[in-house]
Amino acid sequence: MHRFGLLLLAVAAMLLAACSSGPSDLTWKLNTSVRGHLPDLQFTLTDDNGQVVTAKNYRGKVAILYFGYTHCPDVCPLTLTHLHMVMEKLGPLAKHARILFVSVDPARDTPEVMHQYVNAFDKRAVGLTGTEQQIRDMAKRYRVAFTRGPPNDSGGYEVNHSSAIYIFDGKGHVRLLATPTDTPAAMAHDIRQLIELEHAP
């Protein structure tokens, strides 16, 4: 179990107390609106096809941002399975959303490794990696904590990391904060609302 969970919940509670949940005709299931309290989606990283991309590549789509790594023994595969279920619940609207999985272990998570990993969970997931500094800068931007553990006998290691899921609208504005304990139905409900706001007739 990752040790930043309590910190995440405390930050989420603080942000929730300080902000409104958006337009009055919307009902959020996640109950954690962070609109206006975290920066817009912004980065320059390398995707799992080896291409340099920025946040602008994903404008027009709801971005579901999660930080993790491919050697993660538990939380990351469970969360990506969870997010796949969210995309399935969105049905045809899933074409307006993307899962952005950012590695906190760029030394091992090459674009090739990331491509194989994220595609095993969902074809609409994008693996993003970069230099150590690029990852640390992005993690700092979204208040993500991660620390590399000591190596084991075979030279492998784990990376403790916070498990927040950030949801950005199609304009790149952060709207909601979720955790792996939120149900796929609740997440899909709120993401559907954001998509419908963007693509209303």
pLDDT digits (tens, 9 = 90+) for 61-84: 999 999 999 999 999 999 999 999
Q: Is the pLDDT of residue 6 over 90?
A: no
Which backbone phi and psi does 178 adopt, to 5 degrees?
-125, 170
Half-sphere exposure of 102 (CA within 13 A, CB side): 34
Taking the C-alpha atoms of residue 150 and residue 161, their distance in angstroms, rounded to an integer, is: 14
- With H, G, I as helix, E, B as strand and everything else as coil, classify residue 146: strand
Residue 68 β-bridge partners = 103
Structure tokens belonging to residue 114: 């990331």
* Contact status, residue 82 vs residue 179, Cβ threshold 8 Å: no
CATH of domain 5-198: 3.40.30.10
In this prediction the pTM is 0.85
pLDDT class of 26 with cuts at 50, 70, 90:
low
Please tell me the predicted confidence (pLDDT) of residue 23: 45
pLDDT digits (tens, 9 = 90+) for 99-149: 999 999 999 999 999 999 999 999 999 999 999 999 999 999 999 999 999
pLDDT digits (tens, 9 = 90+) for 149-168: 998 888 889 999 999 999 99
Please tell me the predicted confidence (pLDDT) of residue 201: 60
